Structure 1
Amino acid sequence: MTAWLHELRLQAVLDVIRDRAPRSVLDLGCGDGDLLVRIVGDIAIDRVVGVDLCERSLARLRTRLDAARGHGSTVELLCGSLLDVPSRFSGFDCAVLVETIEHLDADHLGAFERSVFQRVRPATVVVTTPNAEFNDLLGVPRHRFRHPDHRFEWDRARFQRWAGGVAKRQGYAVSCSDIAGRHPRLGGASQMAVFDLPGMNQPMTQHDKVA
């Protein structure tokens, strides 16, 4: 993925976070922290938790956080699985999963759904994943994925069916959009679903936003 598309994807997620104005954020599958460092540096949030399976990634993230200038957020990093997010994080305002679910085996998506949408149940959940329709523009052969660790890559119709099913089963409203470039026929390099519990963390209107 080219750097500019990556930046556009992160910006799209940050825009959602700013609109919802959460006080607590879970970055699930945070990796080296490209998003988490921006959250801590750019947005005033009381509590931020990053979760990832890779200890080396978390170690690199700790170094990045030491060098970052933030807004006084309390930051916790945890080595753990998306399939078993601790229930002590129940009640967080927002959870974000940036290019993460495609690293799960498809038959584990049910366990992921129960872990995040039932056990932890954030007011807002933001999920991005590659758009398989865009792969031709990136030079990815039809028989391959963008990354060797990907277990699947969905087209937009398949992603929307999955997101709609999760929303219906778990009592969320959901909206899907193309992000990271918008080809008129193939969509964006990535696609994003934003799940909101009705009546909680709704996006602010322009009148409500503070300049």
Structure 2
Amino acid sequence: MDPIFSPPLHRQRHQFVIDFVMKNKPRKVIDLGCGECSLLKKLRFHREIEVLVGVDINGAKIKKKMHVLAPISTDYLQPSDAQLRIEMYQGSVTQRDARLRGFDLVTSIELIEHLTLADVERFSAVVFGYMTPATVIVSTPNSEFNPLLPGLSGFRHSDHKFEWSRAEFRAWALKVCLEHGYEVEFTGVGQAPYGQQDSVGFCSQIGVFRFRGREHCNMLCDSDADDVSSYTLLFCINYPSLRDNNTLRRVLVTEVVYWTEQLKKRWIKDKTCQRKDALSFCQNERVEKLQKQMDDMAWPVERCLEVVSDSTGQENYKVLWTNGQKQNDPCAFNRYVCVPLAVLWSCCPKVRDLSESVGNLRRLLMDEPEIKLSQDGSAVLVKYQEQDQEDEVNSDLEDSCYAEASQCSHSAEQEEDWETDV
């Protein structure tokens, strides 16, 4: 059977939630009845979300799919400024758990029709009365649309306990608002054919509930009087973030190592008076930007970088070059190019963004084993090695020309029986 909705109805429901997230930017989000985590997999890329939680009564289904929510390699290679923690729980939406109180957004997508009417009442009390989120998005089938669905007899899914008309859904929603201090807006996804929208409504009807007393909600959530934990935590992971000091240091050290090497090579090139393209690397955009920045600087690099020697192994340095003048070389081993932190900070935007100030840069690099600082901590010392220029160019080409490839695997999501063809 050809699908009658494009995009499919389940994608339209998810897109409705995603559009809401993009517009309202909630920080803490829960998906009740998360099933195979298909909505969570999309929401994790919206980094305005700091805490993303999934809850489902079927623990086996969560365990089967939850690992697709783990960070991928690029999340570690290029950590975001934002932070994200993902938690997955096994539990019933009719039971309370204090860890889920006070969120910004709770979604319940095609869930309540799988509950008995008695459990719907418990669901209402738990979600709206106990969890008290700022916003709740509830979607459920609209029974008035069913006659338009080809080949359908009875409910849309064998596990559905009921399917409400628009009037029945409205009656339940207004009762929830009256009892728990919310207001609701009605909408939906899955347009009826032209001329029938008013008579049958949307295929999936949606209620967007907003809490009217957010300050009271925060007061409730800050209370330690109720610490019940009825759910089982199955999965929890923190995405790498530059807000984490260890991650920040790791990224900063990588940038400092890279840029000190580039500055050293540029300095050696200038000092040996080679042609401008003698040390041309792969047409690396970062190197080209660096060269432009260096050319635009008010003072030449050779006046700020110098070669020093550690002859005793105890941070006792002797300057071998200063402002282009070569001096005696009493110890021709263990020599370093001295890259002042101020130069590094000024020339390298990523280093500047990560460290925020030269003083903070010094503090972050102080105890890093990969970084060798001068005795006063004002410069990074980089090993100086004289070698044939052709060998150096070849080495740079080998180190710089690399490509990263990543593959995204997509697993088919099992939808409701009727909706697999919708």
Q: Same fold (TM over 0.5)?
A: yes
Match of 2:92 in 1: 81
Task: Sort the Cα spacing of 1:160 and 1:169 in 2 relative to 1 into closer, same or farther, 3 A.
Answer: same
- Render the CA deviation track for 1:32-71: whole Å, top value 9, x for unaligned: 0121111112342000110001122202321321376776
Q: CA deviation at 1:179?
A: 1.4
Unaligned runs of 5+ in 1: 201-211
1:6, CA displacement in angstroms?
1.4
Deviations 1:9-43 (A, max 9, x none): 11112222223211000111100012111111234
In structure 2, give the amino acid aligned to 1:175.
E
The corresponding residue for 2:291 is none
Letter in 2 for 1:148: S
Within the alignment, does 1:192 sit opposite 2:206 as a pair? yes
Alignment length (residue pairs): 200
**What per-residue deviation string (whole Å, max 9, x for no partner) do you get for residues 156-207 of structure 1?**
111111111101111001111121224423222101001101265xxxxxxx
Q: Which has the larger radius of gyration?
A: 2
- d(CA) in 2 for partners of 1:153, 1:125: 20
- Asked if the contact 1:163–1:174 (Cα under 8 Å) also holds between the matched residues in 2, the reply is yes
- Structure-2 separation of matches of 1:140 and 1:46: 43
Q: Taking structure 1 as reference, are residues 199 and 51 closer, same or farther at Cα in structure 2, changes over 3 Å only?
A: same
Q: How does 1:110-121 map to 2 (within 5 A)?
A: 110-121=121-132
* RMSD (CA atoms): 2.2
User: Counterpart of 1:42 in 2: which secondary structure?
Assistant: coil
What is the CA–CA distance in structure 1 between the aligned matches of 2:59 and 2:102, rounded to whole Å?
26
TM-score by length of 2: 0.45
- The correspondence of residues 52-91 of structure 1 with structure 2, limited to 5 A, is 52-66=56-70, 72-91=83-102
Tell whether the 8 Å contact from 2:47 to 2:84 is kept in structure 1 after alignment.
no
Paired residues for 1:7-22 under 5 Å: 7-22=11-26
Q: Which structure carries more relative contact order (alpha carbon 8 Å, separation 6+)?
A: 1
Structure 1 contact 22–94 (Cα < 8 Å) conserved: yes
- Aligned counterpart in structure 2 of residue 165 of structure 1, from 170, 175, 178: 175
Distance 2:12 2:31 in 1: 18
Sort the Cα spacing of 1:97 and 1:140 in 2 relative to 1 into closer, same or farther, 3 A: farther
- Which structure 2 residues correspond to residues 1-211 of structure 1 after superposition, within 5 A? 4-66=8-70, 72-139=83-150, 141-142=152-153, 144-183=154-193, 184=197, 185-198=199-212, 200=214
Answer whether contact 2:22 2:46 (CA < 8 A) is retained. no
- Between the aligned residues of both structures, percent identity stands at 37
4+ long deviations beyond 4 Å: 67-72
